[in-house]
Amino acid sequence: MSTLQWIDARSVEEAVALLATPGAHGATIAKAGGLDLLDLMKEGIVAPARIVNLQRIDALRGVQFIEAAGLRLGALTTLAEIASDATLRRNYPALAEAAAHAATPQIRNAATIGGNLLQRPRCWYFRNQLFHAARAEAGRDQSQYGAIFDNAESTMVHASTPATALLAYGASVHVVGKQGKTRTIALGDFLLPPDFDRDRDTTLASDEVLTHVSVPAVAAHTSAAYHKQTERDSYDWPICDVAVVLTTKDRRVETARIVAGAVAPVPRRMTASENLLLGREIDEQLAAEAARLAVRDATPTQRNGYKVQVLETVVRRTILGAMR
Amino acid sequence: MSASDPREDRTILTGIVGDSLQSVTRNVPVEEPPELPPNSELRVIGKRVNRVDAVPKVTGQARYTFDVQLPGMLYGRIVSSTVPHARIKSIDTSAAEAYPGVRAVHILDRILSIAQLRDPSVEANERYPLVRYHGQPIAGVAATSMRAAKAAAKLVRIEYERLPHVTSLEAAMQADAPVVFAGPTEQAATAGGGGAAPGLPQEGNLRGPARGGLGGGPRGDVQQGFAHADHILTREYSTQVQTHVPMETHGLVADWRDDELTLYASTQFVLSVRDDAADIFNLPKDKIRVISEFTGGGFGAKFGIGNYGALAIHLSRKARAPVRVVLDRREEHVSVGNRPSTIQRIKLGAKRDGTLTALQVESYGTGGVAAGAGVGFCHSTMYSIPNVLTEHYDVFTDAGPSAAFRAPGQVQGIFALEQALDEMAHTLGVDPLALREKIDTNDGDDARARKVERRIGAERAGWAQRRPPAADPGPVKRGLGVAQSQWVYIVHGTTTCEIRIRGDGSVAAITSAPDIGTGTRTIMAQTVAEELGLRAEAIEIRIGDSRYPAGPAAGGSRVTSSITPAARNATHAAARDLATRVAPLLDAKPEEIVFQDGRVFVRGRSDRGFTFAEAVRQAGVDEIVHRADRREDYDGYRAKIGDLHISKQALGGVQFAQIAVDTETGVVKVERVVAVHDCGRPINPKLIESQIYGGVIQGVSYALYEERHLDPDTGVHLNANIDQYKIVGSRETPDIEVHVIEQLGRQSSTDARGVAEPANVATAAAIANAFYNATGKRIRTLPMTPANVLAALRVENDADDEDLA
């Protein structure tokens, strides 16, 4: 019978030290909210010998606003806290919306932003012990929910929806490793395409702890919107989600970031659409053109072609939503 | 109770209260209690009584099978196949047996609840049962903890010789498809129905054609009928596999003792568990006791003992200790039942005025390794159609077995039939409701009920304000649709209730029927209380034990129709008995004694009497015990299949759905459902509404979300959880407006009939018809996922019509 050891780490340093020391009988895994970890353990995808619980580390908590630097989200900030913080909602509405529409109320109360970014893909094959052991996903995805871009190797998509909004706001993640060595990584570089052969889908090293996420301050005249398109409202994984963050001057777009999740292995910047908007005033027609550009290079599989139309719709609607 | 019981003619008011009541003469056994007046004149029956077991349920005191803990109980874990089709060459259990805490290991020598070879000698030389689907139970391990059982189960080494497999209905129909069964098969019905017509031809994976079932069947000459049609439409509809997903998974705790086998079962019918156990373990039935205090849903799949139950008993016998086998959510999805998928080809002929001339249906359905994947009986039983031919083929695939599922077959059949009628109505330029008015004219209680239900529903749903198809200019389009329901009115043949009036004035009603969540205790308590002039809460109800007098199966919408007459008959006899003892104390004749408002008194002289408890004491009663049966329907039955007695009358129901379709994302939202239903005399409107809510919600879930996905290469059920198997949630639940009519059929002493199944039959079809009204396009494929919806919206013209006029 397998047993496991549970250690409550009291500091980031202690957590890093524990993660850096191999457990006696196998892997050591850090736990924040524990939601994805428990799922993976139940499915037999991971079997940690030692769990390092981060929940007792107060330094990992808190939502802070720092004048010029912007927003600092401790890794243990729950999705519910992000969704309900009034200042955050006002300044980063797309992020608040993304957090508010993730999972269910019960899960949002326990799930942390750090864990959310580090969660593994929800691919049916990835989550099945049999296929997982065989590394057997490519080319036989029966799911209608997989990637429509960059899907030649795999249709697995990163599962985090807050990541879509965070990427649109230009967020970075901060990690601490051995000897207190810190790294700051742009979120776009941090997330990696999901892969059976890695034990994570980020550039986080096995002996590093994600400490916080930073989001730059929003400029004046910034408008933003987020939409997660699902089959069900109550609780569902996305067909796609889209975050749009724009700055305007005299109604003309000065900067634009449009990001779509669940359509590519990692959240995808729609740069052609962004460029189209620059210097122009947004109206129905321009939004429709930008949306068409967003899906121009889509390569859907036999089963997920409908996602192209859904994505085009959601990009158009979210651009318009940001201007409202 | 036999047919030779003395009978008398009684003149009784029958029909729909508030609409049409008329006198009829029924030939009734003289022992039957006098007929009840309409509910408005009753005090407990027909009232919104709270569930008598609500508090124990919400406080967690109610003991489900899942909760059963016995001293020394072991935990059983099933070892399942990891391949879809194979011959097992060897099984090595030695490592599992040696694992700490393991007390027994058992390998199954037969697989229950699937089709069986007509000629077993075909596989007589097989050492182990062949594996025919991924996840088929093979063996079980019992250990002192669940963790040990799980760990040990992983150590059972099975060597397979792989055989070619096929998982999709379409692929299995191909001539060169791998064959699931090497010879013709049979599948007997369970006590809950299902099963397949015996003796049908079988070629490759195709078994059939079956023509009929439960009153269905061919009539007339369809070729002639089509020759007389002005318009013929030919359409193909398809439906998906839906799994039952009851809140409580299947489970059984077996306690094998030398003198008795006790089984705690999550079941719809304790006697089916007892009978299966007696059969498999060669035990006398009276040495087996089955207990089911509370069952967390079943929807048709919880009949008999199942492979999990057989394993629990084998393991208990070997370990000499109680063994609990409760399925996990994956096993529940994979191995204990589902609603079969279908492909249905419908050809419908009509005159210009809407008169139907012929209906031809060719259907294919796969219940995996189970037979009986038909599409119901509605084609022959609902409408006035002179010429009908239905031909159904079961298609075997290497997938988990189907089981009866809330109106088996009829849900799939009605989805296609009611949409085909809607299509015909639009083609002919006839209002869909007016078309039903014209063709729904059979001489039966269901047709009579639907006539009233259409009127009520049309008013409440705003049918007169219904707009032409695709009236909304924007991307989100709203529409209103209607579909009709029909289900058989079933009575369980052997139904007995015992009433005990004790010296302290307490009253108990006793039967073996379990409650799968519908409120059996409450409707029994109301029936007894009405007769004795007591409150429903005052009646003690004992159910769910095979030692009690035989009660009905909780399946086929038959509990209320079966148990309430038996309960009333027994209570009536007990009340008359008590009246005889009380009458002398009040200087009255027994027939003058009435029971009302907690008192026993002389008719017209409420001051001359006692409280109920006083009356019992004064009469010197130690205990009055009466048993009575549910007598046969006064007009007899159309068919009897064992204890499944099918009335000549049927249950109706009409549902209206208002939906919104986002034509740019393909997301469908059901906004409102008006559900108008009949169930004979409503015993408890609150519980009936609850049942209808459940039926509509399950219907919405079926129409929009639920679908089993199998991996064709491996046969693995890919979404065998409730994260990825999508079920309707609270935000997807529409506003549901229920209206229940009171129809006094005068076939039993309570006039009660069921409602569980009819509530689930019409929902998907009503939504599909609303989809057309919203978008001007047809959706003939379930579920209505964005992928299927956007595909349906892209179709330009898919009508395959012949206009012969």
Q: Does the pLDDT at position B86 exceed 90?
A: yes
Q: Closest Cα partner for B629 from B31, B114, B23?
A: B31
What is the share, in percent, of chain B residues with pLDDT greater than 70?
Answer: 98
Identify the pLDDT of residue B192. Answer: 67
Which chain A residue is nearest to residue B148, measuring alpha carbons?
A1
Displacement of CA B763 from its chain's centroid (Å): 15
pLDDT in tens, B347-367: 999 999 999 999 999 999 999
Give the gap in angstroms from C-alpha A71 to the nearest C-alpha of chain B: 32
Q: Does the pLDDT at position A278 exceed 90?
A: yes
B729:A234 CB<8 A: yes
Which chain B residue is nearest to residue A304, measuring alpha carbons?
B787
Calculate mean pLDDT across residues B189-215: 85
Displacement of CA B28 from its chain's centroid (Å): 30
Calculate mean pLDDT across residues B770-783: 98
Q: Does the pLDDT at position B799 exceed 90?
A: no
Query: Which position has the higher pLDDT, B478 or A220?
Result: B478
Contact, B303 vs B370, CB < 8 A? no
Give the gap in angstroms from C-alpha B546 to the nearest C-alpha of chain A: 37
Q: Does the pLDDT at position B108 exceed 80?
A: yes
The answer for residues whose C-beta is within 8 angstroms of residue B23's C-beta and 6 or more apart is: B11, B12, B13, B14
How far from B82 is each of A131, A247, B157, B231, B283, CA to CA, in Å?
A: 11, 55, 11, 52, 33
Calculate mean pLDDT across residues B490-514: 97
Calculate mean pLDDT across residues B35-43: 98
pLDDT in tens, B7-17: 999 999 999 99
Q: Is B607 on the interface with A (CB under 8 A)?
A: no
For chain B, give the mean pLDDT: 96
pLDDT in tens, B534-551: 999 999 999 999 999 999
Query: B216: pLDDT confidence band, cut at 50, 70 and 90?
Result: low
* pTM greater than 0.95: yes
Calculate mean pLDDT across residues B46-73: 97
A304:B787 CB<8 A: yes
Identify the pLDDT of residue B214. Answer: 62
Q: Closest Cα partner for A7 from A26, A28, A33, A24?
A: A28
pLDDT in tens, B401-442: 999 999 999 999 999 999 999 999 999 999 999 999 999 999
Q: Is B95 on the interface with A (CB under 8 A)?
A: no
Identify the pLDDT of residue B701. Answer: 98
Identify the pLDDT of residue B801. Answer: 77
Query: B189: pLDDT confidence band, cut at 50, 70 and 90?
Result: confident
Among B186-200, B290-304, B656-670, which is the least confidently predicted range?
A: B186-200
Inter-chain CB pairs, A–B, below 8 Å: 82
Identify the pLDDT of residue B797. Answer: 73
Show residues of chain A in contact with B718, CB under 8 Å: 124-125, 128, 142-143
Query: Which run of H or of E encompasses B258?
Result: none
Side chain identity at B765, as an amino acid letter?
A
Q: Which of B729, B732, B785 sits opposite A144 (nearest CB)?
A: B785
Q: Is B795 on the interface with A (CB under 8 A)?
A: no
Q: Does the pLDDT at position B41 exceed 90?
A: yes
Q: Is A77 on the interface with B (CB under 8 A)?
A: no
Identify the pLDDT of residue B212. Answer: 76
Q: What is the ipTM of this complex?
A: 0.96
Neighbours of B578 (CB within 10 A): 23
Identify the pLDDT of residue B1. Answer: 47
B731:A130 CB<8 A: no
Calculate mean pLDDT across residues A179-204: 95
Calculate mean pLDDT across residues B157-169: 98
Q: Which of residues 216-255 of A touch B (CB under 8 A)?
A: 229-236, 239
Q: Is B82 on the interface with A (CB under 8 A)?
A: yes
Per DSSP (E only), the strands in B679-790 are 735-741, 743-744
Show residues of chain B in contact with A131, CB under 8 Å: 711, 714, 716
Identify the pLDDT of residue B759. Answer: 97
For chain A, give the mean pLDDT: 94
Per DSSP (E only), the strands in B592-693 are 593-596, 599-602, 605-611, 623-629, 637-641, 644-651, 654-662, 667-678
Calculate mean pLDDT across residues B129-146: 98
Identify the pLDDT of residue A130. Answer: 86
Identify the pLDDT of residue B215. Answer: 62
Q: Which of B664, B709, B729 sits opposite A142 (nearest CB)?
A: B709
What does the block give as tokens for A15?
A: 């957590």
Q: Which of B148, B785, B786 sits opposite A1 (nearest CB)?
A: B148
Which chain B residue is nearest to residue A303, measuring alpha carbons?
B787
pLDDT in tens, B435-477: 999 999 999 999 999 999 999 999 999 999 999 999 999 999 9
d(CA B258, CA B554): 31
Give the gap in angstroms from C-alpha A311 to the nearest C-alpha of chain B: 8
Most confident of A71-75, A152-156, B210-214, B555-559: A71-75
Contact, B720 vs B338, CB < 8 A? no
Q: Coil, helix or strand for A259? A: strand
Judged on CB neighbours under 10 Å (0-12, 13-18, 19+), A225 is buried
Identify the pLDDT of residue B5. Answer: 82
Q: Does the pLDDT at position B243 exceed 50?
A: yes
Q: Which of B666, B731, B732 sits opposite A310 (nearest CB)?
A: B666
